[in-house]
Amino acid sequence: MVIIDRILPWTFIGLAIGISLAEWGNFWWSIILAVVIAFIALRRQKPTVILLAVITVFGAVYWDWAHPRHPGLQEGYLIKARILVLERPYSENGEMRFTGLLQEEGVKVRVFLPHIISLKKGDLLQASGSLREIRGPSNPGDFNYKEYWSHRGVFYNFLVREQPPPRVAANRLGFGEHLLSRLIDRGQQAIRAGMTAEQAVLMEGMLFGFQDEISREQYARFQQSGIVHIFSVSGFHVGFIVLIGVWVANRLGRKKPIRLLTVLTLIMLYGFMTGWPAPMVRASVMASLGLTAHYFGREEDLPSSLAAAGILLLLINPANLFEISFQLSFLATWGIIYLYPRWRDKTGWQYPWERAVLLSLAPQVATLPLTAYYFNLVSLVSVVSNLLLINVAGGAIILGFLGVVAAQLSPVPASVFMIPAGFLTALVQWGSNLLGGMPGGFLWVAQPAVWTVPLAYLGMVLLWGKITIPTAVVNLPNGQTGQIYLLMDRLRTGAGIFLILLFAASLLIPGQFRSPGALRVVFLDVGQGDAVFVKTPQGFTILVDGGGSDWFDVGREVVLPYLRRQGIRSLDLAVATHPHTDHLQGLKSVLEECPARMVVAGEGCLEELGEIGGEVILLQGLREFSLSGRTKVWMWVPEPGSFAEPGNETSVILKIAEGEVSFLLTGDAGVKELEVLMAEPGLDLSATVLKLPHHGSRHSWSDDFIERVDPDYGVISVGLRNPFGHPSPEVLTGTREKGVRIFRTDLDGTVTFVTRGRDIEILTGP
């Protein structure tokens, strides 16, 4: 048993290393490296290292064998497709989304229906639509949906066309799946009958893990309060299901096998209800092993149970290793197993409330480096939120589960459980809104460098770990062992504190002070629209427009996350070029959360922006702005009345210069405005980089203007497959003939220029 307890953790570590090497490195070099390590370990008789090397090789080979491969289908229009619905569909932004299987091709796809229809798992849908490859990230730090879905064997989106309308031909659910689907459907009906619509969505999220229909604003509040994990079915949920199971088992009889089987059956039932997400598998394995050990009078080894769960998950799907939920679930459990007992011993806290504080703090600290990296957010009230609300949420889950069971018999007994469950859910929501909305309750942080994350965990191990004294040191004479131990302890503690502080600094240093001394101009990929972020060598920050769309909030979903990842919490200057959705809508959302000290607006923009803080300047004619250092900025718009109404032809045009390098940003200016601009006396329009006006429209093309600017580089901010035909072939041909190197956000992603006044560095993509 002791041997197994030692083998399991090393097996899990070896699998994780092998899978990581195969995914991120060269597969064959990984194999050669592992074989060399195994050979050296064999010569030196190190069995643990040999095991690690062998399992590492196995992990790399297993990843190469088990990971889904791209099917190689061509993009295009499918006239008649038969799609099997593989998961519960959900609605978002007025459309339905789900994972489906193209029957003829045998290929998984993400399906997007343009309207809401009655659809459930197992339905066979007949539809027409476009097959498109899932794109990778285009802005720095964007979530990599291409990688995320490829790990699930999904490489394409299928966009259903409205005509001809899709229809359901049949349902292909098996008998067992059909029974399970009916169980969940009846449970959802009982939930919605006993609660308000908002409470029902939250209860379904807590009980089943259905997060898709929770509003972004409400989900953000749960993140900010630090209790968003209640929507990820994991050990928290399994613990309460075990409580129900133990209570039921104790009333069924005293025979240990019957009691154990009762609890394990409930865990299995709940697992099938929730679809067995990775945290649920981890918690179920650990709970089952722990219960089995308890009922048979044996002591559970928590690290071995955790390792066994990890091995099982990686064998089921090695890509689980790269899932955020997998990583956070295992780290939270590591915090409880590793950090909590060490803190308890060091502090000497013995009272129940003191232990509760430590037990709440340990998983928060253990997951903090990764949550900061993935979400750029640190909740400062998470310990308080968990202490006050987590048991309330647990009560709601217990009542909700009992209500689902009762709903299989009749809606009447189900309401006995669902009505109080709704009250507790409302209490959790109220508490989350209160704590998450407190001033200073959470902090947006910059995305730390990848290398600082493992250093943070190394710092935790050094700071709160235990020292193993080598035998040679133990046998030293004259009490030298104690002195060496003290020295080693101080060095370990100092190194741990240093590494943790290094990580904290990488989070908290404002973005304005990062990479000083260079002008950085970033053309963000916001689809069909404009958003340009500028940071001067002295840390002065400017945002020109913020994108916009009729389908989603570009500012909140694209621009704000970029600013947060850069550690930018406020702007020095925001510029609204003209009052069109694809430029202004996103800027309005940004300014609500990331205020600007000064806002410069073109004609008609202030009415659309509404109330905004800071100094507001309605630009008229030419104005120069003095920034610190060598950075110079001027802005210009036609005089009021030059054009009939505010629009493209009244766009704010601005030039930013740093030494010998300059950038000319032209908004959506058309030929007429460009002619007025060129007639402006004494205005230097020459620029190294030109943002081509109006997304490369032919109505904004002017040979005279291009010759006057004489750029080396051009940037076209444009949406992929946009309906306007941007950029125009005429513009692309004309710029090519002028020797201008063109970058496009639809093809290149975000385009970043970095200069110190002479040379220029160009970065594209994420």
Whether 127 contacts 81, CB under 8 Å = yes
Average pLDDT over residues 427-432: 93
Residue 80 CA to residue 133 CA, distance in Å, equals 18
Whether 156 contacts 110, CB under 8 Å = yes
Say what the pLDDT of residue 419 is: 92
Say what the pLDDT of residue 1 is: 44
Residue 227 CA to residue 384 CA, distance in Å, equals 10
With a cut of 50, say whether residue 145 has pLDDT above it: yes
**pLDDT, tens digit, 9 for 90 and up, residues 495-512:** 889 999 999 988 888 888
Say what the pLDDT of residue 180 is: 85
More confident residue, 614 or 727: 727
| Cα dihedral value 510, 515, 518, 519, nearest 10 | -50
- Residue positions counted in the chain: 766
Indicate the range of 221-235, 361-375, 469-483 predicted with least confidence: 469-483
Domain edges within the chain: 2-66, 76-172, 452-509, 512-764
With a cut of 60, say whether residue 111 has pLDDT above it: yes
Side chain identity at residue 440, one-letter code:
G
**pLDDT, tens digit, 9 for 90 and up, residues 644-686:** 677 888 899 999 999 889 999 999 998 999 988 998 888 889 9
Average pLDDT over residues 405-433: 91
Residue 309's nearest CA partner among 338, 332, 288, 324 is: 288
Residue 686 CA to residue 667 CA, distance in Å, equals 17
Q: Count Cα atoms within 13 angstroms, Cβ side, for 538.
A: 10
With a cut of 60, say whether residue 43 has pLDDT above it: no
**Edge-to-edge order in the sheet of strand 596-601:** 615-618, 596-601, 571-576, 541-544, 532-535, 519-523, 751-755, 760-764
Residue 278 CA to residue 209 CA, distance in Å, equals 12
Whether 433 contacts 198, CB under 8 Å = no
- Residue 480 burial by Cβ neighbours in a 10 Å radius (0-12, 13-18, 19+): exposed
Residue 278 CA to residue 194 CA, distance in Å, equals 30
Phi-psi region of 316 (alpha: psi -120 to 50; beta: other; left: phi over 0): alpha
Q: How far is CA 629 from CA 509, 530, 540, 632, in A?
A: 22, 27, 10, 8
* Class of domain 512-764 as given by CATH: alpha beta
**Edge-to-edge order in the sheet of strand 621-626:** 621-626, 631-637, 653-658, 661-665, 689-691, 713-716, 741-744
Residue 595's nearest CA partner among 566, 569, 561 is: 569
Say what the pLDDT of residue 2 is: 45
Residue 173 CA to residue 120 CA, distance in Å, equals 10
Q: Please list, residue by residue across 150-171, b when 16 or more beta carbons sit within 10 angstroms of its beta carbon and e when fewer do.
A: bbebbbbbbbbbeeeebeeeee
Instruction: Name 145's Cβ contacts closer than 8 Å, sequence gap at least 6.
Output: 134, 135, 136, 137
Residue 603 CA to residue 144 CA, distance in Å, equals 38
- Of the pLDDT bands very low, low, confident and very high (cuts 50, 70, 90), residue 617 is confident
Residue 391 CA to residue 397 CA, distance in Å, equals 10
- Beta-sheet pairing, 713-716 with 689-691: parallel
More confident residue, 714 or 177: 714
Express as a percent the part of the chain with pLDDT over 90. 28
Say what the pLDDT of residue 686 is: 92
- Residue 202 burial by Cβ neighbours in a 10 Å radius (0-12, 13-18, 19+): buried
Say what the pLDDT of residue 661 is: 92
CATH of 76-172 given 1.10.10, 2.60.40, 2.40.50, 1.20.120: 2.40.50
With a cut of 60, say whether residue 155 has pLDDT above it: yes
**Candidate ranges 208-212, 280-284, 420-424; pick with highest mean pLDDT:** 420-424
With a cut of 80, say whether residue 456 has pLDDT above it: yes
With a cut of 70, say whether residue 55 has pLDDT above it: yes
Say what the pLDDT of residue 59 is: 86
Whether 307 contacts 15, CB under 8 Å = no
Side chain identity at residue 211, one-letter code:
Q
CA triple 621-623-626, angle to 5 deg: 175
Average pLDDT over residues 543-554: 88
Average pLDDT over residues 596-614: 83
- Of the pLDDT bands very low, low, confident and very high (cuts 50, 70, 90), residue 727 is very high
* H helices, E strands: number in the chain: 27, 24
CA triple 661-666-671, angle to 5 deg: 125
Whether 18 contacts 313, CB under 8 Å = no
Instruction: Name 660's Cβ contacts closer than 8 Å, sequence gap at least 6.
Output: 688, 757, 758
Whether 30 contacts 18, CB under 8 Å = yes
Indicate the range of 64-78, 517-531, 575-589, 621-635 predicted with least confidence: 621-635
φ, ψ of residue 196 to 5 degrees: the values are -70, 165
With a cut of 70, say whether residue 468 has pLDDT above it: no
Residue 109 CA to residue 91 CA, distance in Å, equals 17
**pLDDT, tens digit, 9 for 90 and up, residues 337-357:** 888 888 888 888 888 888 888
Residue 319 CA to residue 216 CA, distance in Å, equals 27
Task: Show the beta-strand stretches assigned E in 254-353.
Answer: none
With a cut of 60, say whether residue 250 has pLDDT above it: yes
With a cut of 60, say whether residue 571 has pLDDT above it: yes
Q: What is the mean pLDDT of the chain?
A: 85
Indicate the range of 187-196, 468-477, 618-627 predicted with least confidence: 468-477
Residue 309 CA to residue 287 CA, distance in Å, equals 10
With a cut of 80, say whether residue 471 has pLDDT above it: no
Can you state the angle between helices 352-375 and 340-347, rounded to 10 degrees? 130
Whether 532 contacts 691, CB under 8 Å = yes
- Of the pLDDT bands very low, low, confident and very high (cuts 50, 70, 90), residue 563 is very high
With a cut of 60, say whether residue 4 has pLDDT above it: no
| Cα dihedral value 710, 715, 720, 722, nearest 10 | -50
With a cut of 90, say whether residue 763 has pLDDT above it: yes
Indicate the range of 223-227, 299-303, 338-342, 745-749 predicted with least confidence: 299-303
Indicate the range of 359-373, 457-471, 585-599 predicted with least confidence: 457-471
Say what the pLDDT of residue 29 is: 60
Say what the pLDDT of residue 481 is: 59
